[in-house]
Amino acid sequence: MSGTVPHIVQYQGSKRILAPQILQYMPRRFERLVEPFAGMAAITIANAVQGRADKYIVNDLNKPLVSVLQAAVESPMDLVSGYAQVWNAQFSYSGGSISHFYKVRDDFNGGDQSPANMLYLLARCVKGSVRYSSNGQFNQSPDKRRHGTSPKTLKPNVQAISWHLNGRTTFLTSDYREVLETTRPGDLVYMDPPYQGVCNARDNRYFSGIEFSDFVEAVDMLNRRGVDFLISYDGQCGDRQYGEDLPKELGLEKVLLNAGLSSQSLLLGKKEVTYEALYISRGLRGKTSTSKSITQPLLFDKIAV
Ligand SMILES: C[S@@+](CC[C@H](N)C(=O)[O-])C[C@H]1O[C@@H](n2cnc3c(N)ncnc32)[C@H](O)[C@@H]1O
């Protein structure tokens, strides 16, 4: 864990790897960090490790997901022991560990959405990518080659996260727009909505999708309130851009962060770098923690034209 930011479990779309790049565009100190689309809260955790904010607001529409984060922060040892119980049971389960996953999934869909069960499903499912059916049932399959993070690996990570966030964090499970309504100048909002490719209407990858026009309206409202914010929103791979740009009228600066070689392209024998877009609000210019202006490209970045 040394030198890296602690994390609980894999989560599709996690910004853990990009966190050091994203944090360069955030101020060194601010009052509250608000994450309306927190997922596994990689950016909140990275900021808390560096003690950048006094308070943290962690929100995600996915309640069981937020319950894992809340348990990690507020009752870390209960979460680790509850998880250890579920995780260990897979090795003695009569039908084997795959059947055990399906049993926990059935329990979860039947109403036992304890943080330990959710954490186990995340740890054990394919690529940490949650999938939901149209009636809200968790329907992702188990990763057949792995047993999921061991409780031994989990424990120091959860303890570290609790150490940095306990007593400073509020957990919410609202729609992002309700959370944005509560923001005020002095806050820093980091938004990482579901990708547009999987937005517009229901998104089975993330429990819920969002409408592009609603999102643009919400961003415009933040501008009018004078709240600083950053948005991770789609990007490009090779020559291909994915997702629609946010409108120019919002007055945002767009930088492209190097997210590494695309595994999809590698499978096709091509070496292409994936870039993830980061939009920065007007008010943040000159307040970032890098000594360079955000209009000058950093070494690993590419300013969009
Ligand atoms: C790309 S993921 C965020 C990943 C996160 N940055 C991380 O590092 O783990 C997007 C998240 O938005 C949540 N979400 C989707 N629609 C939402 C809504 N209307 N309001 C709040 N959260 C929402 C999903 O449940 C998902 O966890």
Render pLDDT for 10-28 as a digit per residue (tens, 0 to 9).
Answer: 998 899 999 999 999 999 9
**Can you tell me the mean pLDDT for 92-109?**
96
Q: Which atom of ligand 1 is nearest to the CA of 38?
A: 5
Whole-prediction pTM: 0.90
Ligand 1 contacts CB of residue 194 (under 6 A): yes
pLDDT at 2 over 50: no
Residue 285: predicted pLDDT: 85
At CA 100, angle to CA 96 and CA 104, rounded to 5?
A: 180
Ligand 1 and 69: CB distance under 6 A = no
Pick 56 or 203 by higher pLDDT.
56
Apex CA 117: angle with CA 164 and CA 58, to 5°?
Answer: 35
CB of 176 closer than 6 angstroms to any ligand 1 atom: yes
Single-letter amino acid, residue 186: G
The pLDDT value recorded for residue 297 is: 39
Which of 25-39, 53-67, 104-118, 207-221 has the least mean pLDDT?
207-221
Predicted confidence at residue 224, as pLDDT, reads 97
Q: How far, in Å, is the centroid of ligand 1 from the Cα of 14?
A: 10
Q: Is residue 258 classed exposed, middle or buried when 0-12, 13-18 and 19+ CB atoms within 10 A define those classes?
A: middle
Instruction: Please tell me if the CB atom of residue 62 comes closer than 6 angstroms to any atom of ligand 1.
Output: yes
Confidence of residue 182 (pLDDT cuts 50, 70, 90): very high
Query: Atom of ligand 1 at shortest distance to CA of 35?
Result: 6
Section 41-50 average pLDDT: 98
Q: Name which residue leads in pLDDT, 260 or 143.
A: 143
Cα-to-centroid distance, 38 and ligand 1 (Å): 6
Rounded distance from Cα 50 to ligand 1 centre (Å): 23
More confident residue, 135 or 178: 178
For position 1, what pLDDT does the model report? 43
Q: Is the pLDDT of residue 105 over 90?
A: yes
* Separation CA 194–CA 19 (nearest Å): 17
Query: What distance in angstroms lies between residue 37's CA and the mean position of ligand 1's atoms?
Result: 4
Q: Are 184 and 225 in contact (CB under 8 A)?
A: yes
What separation in Å is there between the alpha carbon of 52 and the centre of ligand 1?
Answer: 22
pLDDT of amino acid 210: 84
CATH architecture of 1-15+29-228: Orthogonal Bundle (1.10)
Distance 193 CA to ligand 1 centre (A): 5
Give the lowest-confidence range in 32-36, 62-66, 165-169, 204-208: 204-208
Overall average pLDDT of the 280-304 stretch: 61
Of ligand 1's atoms, which has the minimum distance to the CA of residue 190?
Answer: 6
pLDDT in tens, 203-242: 455 545 688 889 999 999 999 999 999 999 887 777 777 7
**Candidate of 10, 23, 37 to mutate for ligand 1, largest count of ligand atoms within 8 Å of Cβ:** 37
